[in-house]
A and B are shown apart, each in its own frame.
Chain A
Amino acid sequence: MTAIPKTIKAGFDPNAARADFEIFAKPVYGKPLVYLDSAASAQKPRQVLDAMRDFASSEYANVHRGVHYLSAASTDRYEAARRTVQKFLNAKHEDEIVFTKGGTEAINLVSYSYLALRIQPGDEIVLSVMEHHSNIVPWHFLRERQGAVLRWVDVRNDGSLDIEALDAAIGPKTKLVAITHMSNVLGTVTPLKEIVARAHAKGVPVLADGAQGAVHESVDVQALDIDFYTITGHKLYGPTGIGALYGKRKHLKAMRPFNGGGEMIREVTRENVTYADPPARFEAGTPPIIESVGLAAAIDYMNSFDRASVHAHEQDLLTYAREAVREFNWLRVIGDAPGKGAILSFETDGMHAHDVATILDREGVAVRAGHHCAQPLMERFGVASTSRASFAMYNTRADVDALIAALAKARKILS
């Protein structure tokens, strides 16, 4: 658990939080919005939107460049945002936080700037079958370009990770373990501390994709002793266009640049170029400045609540929904791992996920239908697509009731 200010009281009122999200004031097809697609992207509270607007209208200029007042103010806010992310993940040093345009770019950065330098043909990358494509394709690049071998670790039928299978997959040729912190389809939360311990015992570094995990779990990269951890702003109730890579200082220092341009150099001559130290080395060009302020505001917003109580609230929704769908004998939940996060994916007999989602949509219920950018996992469970309801702090039991009613209606129409 990240440190929570003592002034924050235990307990959480989702309706109070919900009032901060203006989108819920606008009906969909004349019905109240039931937003159950936060795992794809979360809605933004007014605190985030206000922070971005206030900053852009009073302190904005480019960062790290001018000597003028606004440039200094803007640089202060940008670097303050970095420290907010540092504290959020409990990184030891602020220069261990690299801003990226999202989680995908953060993983690609590690692939290109770190691992590509260490891969010989036949070297292995260990990953689980429940990875999002963003934590698969950057490693496929190394397979295509450098002859890396992807070693896949299966999940059990309940969606949980078999730590022994993972351990067994880590061999003398393994150069990285790349694994999700929380599956965007199954909701499975992986035992990162144990995974890191097992991998480190064999001298192998670990990258965790925290796109979902950082939203629902507390992250302490020092306690985990993890090498790389990636987050994305828009799932953390923050803006699109920004994410971050946490990397241990020793790793970042040993990494080559990814994009070349302004900001990331020490000196450029006609003959040569030398590079800035991390994190600037990896932040070529004008960074997402306004977005960084929005991301910091989003983290502050999340931390304004007792996160353990928020977690308990989301778990309550998950349990409530899980129990409610038992009445549908035509619905099969995919992913029942113990301790899983608030995501409910399911398959419906004789009804395609897209047809279900279309009917739910007309009831104001937004769910995701498809392969969820996790096709190897779909293959594992023998389905082409699933429907997915994902829960966030602003959801309530009434949202679950609306989901259940809409599902019953879909059944009526389609069968």
Chain B
Amino acid sequence: MDDSLRELYQDVILDHSRHPRHFGPLEGATNTAEGHNPLCGDRVKSNLIVDANDRIADITFEGKGCAISQASASMMTDMVVGRSVAEAEKLMGGFLHLVKGEEATDLAGDDREQLDVMAGVSAFPMRVKCATLAWHTMKSALEGGDGAAKSE
């Protein structure tokens, strides 16, 4: 099989897409936003509870999408829970570099290791938006959530 395909659809990604973590509505959400990928019509909703210390106490996502977008959303929610908003945004910056095939110097240690499974997306430029949709939606929610999030 094509190596780049194996890289893209590795088991970790397929597992996340079939059994997404933190999937569903979130009671008591303080921040929500909807993201929309106009290319495929996919929608994702991001719900967060941000506490008084600007910490992400909980996060979920809803919606349907391709394996890449679901896996990306699932991994994201796993990774940002418990982090401060600033940390989550920094992580997002690193992730964007990673999936666009750019130098992701701002990703280190465990973060780098966990997100590395998404690096294969960079070989599929048409699919980068699928991977980034959930992250942009989360950012939009953190910024107040008015209006739909972009996917780039």
CA A141 to CA B134, docked complex, whole Å = 32
Beta-carbon contact of A369 and B67 below 8 Å: no
**A370:B40 contact, CB within 8 angstroms:** yes
* CB contact under 8 A between A413 and B5, given known A358-B127, A385-B40, A385-B42: yes
8 Å CB interface, A300-321 against B: none
9-residue interface stretch from A41-49, A276-284, A330-338, A347-355: A347-355
Which residues of chain A have C-beta atoms less than 8 A from B2's C-beta? 29, 362
* Interface residue range, chain A: 20 to 34
Question: Which residues in window 34-91 of B have CB below 8 A to A?
Answer: 39-43, 64-68
In Å, the complex CA distance between A384 and B39 comes to 11
What's the Cα separation between A384 and B1 when bound, in Å?
Answer: 29
- Which residues of B sit under 8 angstroms from A350, Cβ to Cβ? 18
B14 interface contact, C-beta 8 A: yes
Contacts of B41 in A (CB 8 A): 370-371, 375, 378, 384-385
Interface size on B (CB < 8 Å)?
22
Chain A positions within 8 Å of B67 at CB level: 351-352, 355, 414
* A359 touches B (CB below 8 Å): yes
CB neighbors of B among A364-403 (8 A): 369-371, 375, 378, 384-385
> Of A359, A369, A414, which one neighbours B40 at CB under 8 angstroms?
A369
Q: Are the CB atoms of B127 and A354 closer together than 8 Å?
A: yes
Query: Which chain B residues border A371 with CB–CB below 8 Å?
Result: 40-41
Please, which residues of chain A bring their CB within 8 A of the CB of B96? none
Give every chain A residue within 8 A of B42 (Cβ-Cβ).
384-385
From known contacts A378-B41, A385-B41, A385-B42, infer whether A352 and B66 are also in contact, taking CB-CB under 8 Å. Answer: yes
* Shortest Cβ distance from B41 into A: residue: A371
A residues sitting closer than 8 Å to B (CB atoms) are: 29, 350-355, 358-359, 362, 369-371, 375, 378, 384-385, 409, 413-414
A-B contact pairs, 20 of them (CB 8 A): A29-B2, A352-B40, A352-B66, A353-B40, A354-B68, A354-B127, A355-B67, A358-B124, A358-B127, A359-B5, A362-B2, A362-B4, A370-B39, A370-B40, A371-B40, A384-B41, A384-B64, A413-B1, A413-B5, A414-B14
